[in-house]
Structure 1
Amino acid sequence: MVEILFLCGTGKRAVVASVARANRGKIDAALEDLSVESAVDLQKVLKTSTFTSRKDAFNTLLANIHLFQSRLGAMLFLISALLSRELEDIQADRDDPSQPLVTAPFGHASQEIVNLLLCGEAVPNVFDGKMDLGGGMSLKGIPNNVEVGFLTLLESLNLCKVGQYLKCPKWPIWVVGSESHYTVLFALNPNVQEENELEERESKIRRAFDAQDQSGGGGFISVEGFQQVLRDTDINFPSDKLEDLCNAGIIVWSEFWQALLQLDKRAGGMKDPTGLMGKKQFTIFHFNGIAKSVLNGNASAGGSCPIQRPRLCKLNVTVPPRWTQDEYLADVVSASTSSSKDDSILSLAPPGQTNQHAPLVDCIRTRWPRAVCSWVGDVPSIV
């Protein structure tokens, strides 16, 4: 909590909001009869303290931890983050300051709030950096690397494109967004983030491509932008292939990627003559803080209803070796003739591992494409 507040305060300060009448040791009694029906009611009892010392802020939060665990806790922490950033800067961060930060009627957090807590700025988009729209207009995304990342079901539905800053955070922890709820995905081993040589190469090329993509994540760039990508990534296509890619006047990522799979690694492509495209295997955990029925848990005292509790799920993840060009084309054909979105991935599951599916798996595949996931017991839920 301290680190988040100082992140919002650009490392210089943190503001902690609390309830004036909630003295240490008497928080439960203070909140018992407290009614907050409007902003005016809240202002009457709200108390704020500003800190430049992390130690002092930590001690204050620790002394009031029961308050932040109460029914007012989430709201007080949000107010603390907003005031740490300062309201003028919050409005300057946003593309459209007229929109509410919390949406009615259910009180869902906007993407600005999520980004504020993750990167310290209330920017509204999840791509990297800024997107120039021309005419002096731009859209704001994540400005730099973050410690905790973000994945969203919306990307698997092609409704947005999460940038590398949020997909590859410092620590293997991701907030997972669904249509109505946020959960947490995490790994105990930071090696899940490590990339081999070809993965690093792909990430570099993708970042260069996305930097030229002015379509809002549509996956295509201009010929001029494409030439810049080739310069930035030292890719040398044969002249005839380069002409084919540029004929349409725009370059689509999928076509560019297929061409890279055919281009030798020594020319800047992704074709590996050694065939050393090893797979990954790791364990990852998912936590949903909303109480769910635990089907394989012990029955309740009455014996008729499953236990309701927050759910922690352990997933075994295998990321198959990267496609060769022939495998890529074969998979495209398979996917186009299949009635199930997972049929084309099922054959990539290693022997002995069952390929299971849930919306969470779609989120995981936005970070590790073609990942095969399995678990024991209840299906992990992101709602």
Structure 2
Amino acid sequence: MAEHEEEDLKMALRMSMQQHNPPEPKRSKSRDDSCGSGEAPEESSEMKNRRMQRELMAAAAEKRMTAAKSAAATVAIPKSAESLKEVKKSGSGTEGKGKSVNLETGKENSGNSGAELSAPEAHQLFSMIFGKEVSKNVLAQWSNQGIRFSPDSETSMGLVQHEGGPCGVLAAIQAFVFKYLLFCQEESGNVAPNMSTNFGVIVSNSESMGADIFSSISEDHKSRALVRSMNEILFLCGNNETAVIASMDVLDGHTEGSIYGLKDEVIVKVLEGVSVESGFDLQKVLRVSTFTSKASALYKLKAMLPIFRSRMGALLFLISALLSRGLDNVQADRDDPSLSLVTAPFGHASQEIVNLLLSGSAVANVFDGEMDLGGGMFVKGITTTVEVGFLTLLEYLNYCKVGQHLKCPRWPIWVVGSESHYTVLFALDTKVQEENQLESRAAQIRRAFDAQDQSGGGGFISVEGFHQVLKETSVDLPSEKLEHLCSTGFIVWSEFWQVLLDLDKSLGGLKDSTGLLGKKVFDLYHFNGIAKSIANASQATSGRENPIQRPRLTKLRVSVPPRWTPEEFMADVSVPSGSGKDESDRKETSVEESKPEPAQHAPLVDCIRTRWPRATCNWEGDAPSIV
């Protein structure tokens, strides 16, 4: 219908611009016999053109009104689980399940503009994000950050960040992009609603992949990974039932054809002077479309990539995620709905935003499950296993406890949080998450201990709970150690841990008297998307350093010691990873092996140690930055 409408408007425009000479008087013609024998003056060509022009424009206007009514009837903003079901039932037939769409040629939803938010919804959305009072600096940060890949060749697989606030949104998207670039690949050009059938797991061999692992990735491949990442996140927020995609009304009607044909430079020009400083501004410019078909949403996101690359991209995606979850559901997820999601005064993305994009729920905490505070009060954490995880420096500083859901995701990719910034840590090999015998045993005991911990992650349990832990984990403590631990009426994890380290494996402890378990050595990569000044090495050699702005990608060599006490670890010698030698060969040659490189330290290492305790790291060049 849109194509016919465009043709009608173009024809009317051409006719209105035609230059006509004054009509010459013409002789009347005889009518057909069936119309009688009388004569009547013939309608002039100019009058005929004007009449046709009016009819075409009226028809086009009628089509626009019909399309607007249809869109309003089929597009809704889910605000609760019940409304999500209603949207699913009342959605247009073009968005039904079971349809397959080719990303290059096919599409299900050809409409450009979506539904307009009501005034209460727009004000609620703006207040939820920015609060009742927000500075112009914070608004500028969130209104000037697009979702675009770095132009720098060494970091071209990463999303570049120029503003400080939206890093939580970009880091979460980046983590999913790495998932699709490293571990998933397309099997065909057609995209079906069941996304899991369209990708195969890539077995990554970190030994054979160098530092330039991303140099061969094409722009088209990166764009597809980005589209699929955004699609997965939005449907994750919508309980895998629905996704809402937000666009801007100002992008309609400024060029011939639909917004799908707009180029980056055209969008930049159209957005000049557009600002979002209130709920009223949001209602005026925002348009939303709801999808129940993943294929339809995927095509829409692909078509809207130039819009998401624009300066409003990060904010539009955050709005899309919030509306996909439903505004009422977002508020129900939160411990304190009165606070803004963008924190004052610096405009950082809150943990609720990051958790929403990683897990689909806007909870404020990173521990597993719920915590009972007594008196019928609960605080909420992560309740399900996630695709990509989360680590934070705040856990190392004992401000919080990251649960196993976020710490051990399906893929070895983590968003890393500091006090003021979010970055991404990832591995090329899924084996980095596999546990050896001691790690598996330690994790089993810690899970049993945490299950009895009612202190909110404080690390202590009751005597009754402690006896339950010993029973579940088959730990046989000597009577004197048991009496010592229980003497105060509660058991602290750190004291119990020290006892386990000195308790032989035959009694259920962690002491490895044989020393047969080898050291874990693997590579991690850290990506910081914020553009920082880096000296240009090629010009530095000529005596002229010219700092350039670009993101940072750092490769880290991580070593996890095989034994639990520092004295034993310091006495260890380095055994190269993947040497292929059996245990007897290692023992014979261990004396000849060189000592490992001195461990390097940065705040990122502290984050890594929350996942791999007592890990040591080495890297080349500048230390990786998490700020």
**Same fold, judged at TM 0.5 (above):** yes
Stretches of structure 2 lacking an aligned partner (at least 5 in a row) = 1-229, 252-258, 572-593
Q: Give 3-state SS (helix, strand or coil) of 1:289's partner.
A: strand
Structure 1 range deviating more: 52-61 or 268-277: 268-277
Q: Give 3-state SS (helix, strand or coil) of 2:608's partner.
A: helix
Q: Give 3-state SS (helix, strand or coil) of 2:382's partner.
A: coil
CA drift at 1:302 = 11
| Residue in structure 2 matched with residue 45 of structure 1 by the alignment | 285
How many angstroms apart in 2 are the aligned matches of 1:41 and 1:311? 36
| Residue in structure 2 matched with residue 347 of structure 1 by the alignment | none
How many angstroms apart in 2 are the aligned matches of 1:58 and 1:169? 24
Q: Does 1:13 align with 2:242?
A: yes
Q: Does 1:217 align with 2:457?
A: yes
Match of 2:276 among 36, 39, 44: 36
Identity %: 69
How many angstroms apart in 1 are the aligned matches of 2:553 and 2:566? 38
Q: Give 3-state SS (helix, strand or coil) of 2:250's partner.
A: coil
Match of 1:360 among 598, 604, 618: 604
Is contact 2:333–2:380 with CA below 8 Å preserved after alignment? yes
Residues 236-263 of structure 1: per-residue CA shift (max 9 Å, x gap): 2233322221111111111101111222
Letter in 2 for 1:355: A
CA drift at 1:223 = 1.4
CA drift at 1:273 = 4.0
Greater relative contact order, per chain length (Cα 8 Å cut-off, separation 6+): 2
Is contact 1:295–1:378 with CA below 8 Å preserved after alignment? no
Structure 1 range deviating more: 249-258 or 201-210: 201-210
Q: 1:114 to 1:82 in 2, by over 3 A?
A: same
Letter in 2 for 1:306: P
CA drift at 1:98 = 1.4
Stretches of structure 1 lacking an aligned partner (at least 5 in a row) = 331-349
How many angstroms apart in 2 are the aligned matches of 1:143 and 1:173? 19
CA drift at 1:296 = 6.1
Is contact 2:426–2:526 with CA below 8 Å preserved after alignment? yes
Is contact 1:153–1:177 with CA below 8 Å preserved after alignment? yes
Moved beyond 6 Å, runs of 4+: none
Corresponding residue pairs, total: 364
| Residue in structure 1 matched with residue 534 of structure 2 by the alignment | 294
| Residue in structure 2 matched with residue 344 of structure 1 by the alignment | none
How many angstroms apart in 2 are the aligned matches of 1:278 and 1:10? 43
How many angstroms apart in 1 are the aligned matches of 2:276 and 2:364? 29
Q: 1:140 to 1:80 in 2, by over 3 A?
A: same
Q: 1:196 to 1:146 in 2, by over 3 A?
A: same
Is contact 1:299–1:306 with CA below 8 Å preserved after alignment? no
Is contact 1:93–1:140 with CA below 8 Å preserved after alignment? yes
Structure 1 range deviating more: 4-13 or 16-25: 16-25
| Residue in structure 2 matched with residue 134 of structure 1 by the alignment | 374
Q: 1:102-113 counterparts in 2 under 5 A?
A: 102-113=342-353
Match of 2:305 among 43, 65, 73: 65
Is contact 1:4–1:81 with CA below 8 Å preserved after alignment? yes
Letter in 2 for 1:315: L
Is contact 1:262–1:325 with CA below 8 Å preserved after alignment? no
Q: Does 1:373 align with 2:617?
A: yes
| Residue in structure 2 matched with residue 89 of structure 1 by the alignment | 329
Q: Give 3-state SS (helix, strand or coil) of 1:244's partner.
A: helix
| Residue in structure 1 matched with residue 482 of structure 2 by the alignment | 242
Q: 1:179-258 counterparts in 2 under 5 A?
A: 179-258=419-498
How many angstroms apart in 1 are the aligned matches of 2:457 and 2:338? 24
Q: Does 1:25 align with 2:265?
A: no
How many angstroms apart in 1 are the aligned matches of 2:245 and 2:261? 18
TM-score, normalised on structure 2?
A: 0.56
Letter in 2 for 1:226: F
Is contact 1:13–1:84 with CA below 8 Å preserved after alignment? yes
Is contact 1:297–1:307 with CA below 8 Å preserved after alignment? no
| Residue in structure 1 matched with residue 9 of structure 2 by the alignment | none
Is contact 1:155–1:366 with CA below 8 Å preserved after alignment? yes
How many angstroms apart in 2 are the aligned matches of 1:161 and 1:135? 23
Residues 104-128 of structure 1: per-residue CA shift (max 9 Å, x gap): 2322111111111111111111111
How many angstroms apart in 1 are the aligned matches of 2:472 and 2:331? 35
| Residue in structure 2 matched with residue 341 of structure 1 by the alignment | none
Q: Does 1:315 align with 2:556?
A: yes
Letter in 2 for 1:7: L
CA drift at 1:20 = 2.2
CA drift at 1:150 = 0.6
Q: Give 3-state SS (helix, strand or coil) of 1:180's partner.
A: coil
| Residue in structure 1 matched with residue 167 of structure 2 by the alignment | none
Is contact 1:258–1:325 with CA below 8 Å preserved after alignment? no
Q: Does 1:117 align with 2:357?
A: yes
Is contact 2:244–2:320 with CA below 8 Å preserved after alignment? yes
How many angstroms apart in 2 are the aligned matches of 1:326 and 1:237? 24
Q: 1:259 to 1:274 in 2, by over 3 A?
A: same
Is contact 2:537–2:545 with CA below 8 Å preserved after alignment? no
| Residue in structure 2 matched with residue 77 of structure 1 by the alignment | 317
Q: 1:196 to 1:304 in 2, by over 3 A?
A: closer
CA drift at 1:36 = 2.1
Letter in 2 for 1:379: A
CA drift at 1:324 = 4.5
Q: Give 3-state SS (helix, strand or coil) of 1:165's partner.
A: helix
Residues 311-338 of structure 1: per-residue CA shift (max 9 Å, x gap): 111111111112159759x9xxxxxxxx
How many angstroms apart in 2 are the aligned matches of 1:194 and 1:38? 49
Q: Give 3-state SS (helix, strand or coil) of 1:203's partner.
A: helix
Q: Give 3-state SS (helix, strand or coil) of 1:21's partner.
A: helix
TM-score, normalised on structure 1?
A: 0.89
Letter in 1 for 2:557: N
How many angstroms apart in 1 are the aligned matches of 2:606 and 2:233? 28
Q: Give 3-state SS (helix, strand or coil) of 1:131's partner.
A: strand
| Residue in structure 2 matched with residue 163 of structure 1 by the alignment | 403
Structure with the higher strand share, 1 or 2: 1
Is contact 2:536–2:546 with CA below 8 Å preserved after alignment? no
Is contact 2:365–2:380 with CA below 8 Å preserved after alignment? yes
How many angstroms apart in 2 are the aligned matches of 1:292 and 1:299? 17
| Residue in structure 2 matched with residue 284 of structure 1 by the alignment | 524
| Residue in structure 1 matched with residue 546 of structure 2 by the alignment | 305
Q: 1:368 to 1:295 in 2, by over 3 A?
A: farther
Letter in 1 for 2:231: V
How many angstroms apart in 2 are the aligned matches of 1:293 and 1:181? 17
Structure with the higher helix share, 1 or 2: 2
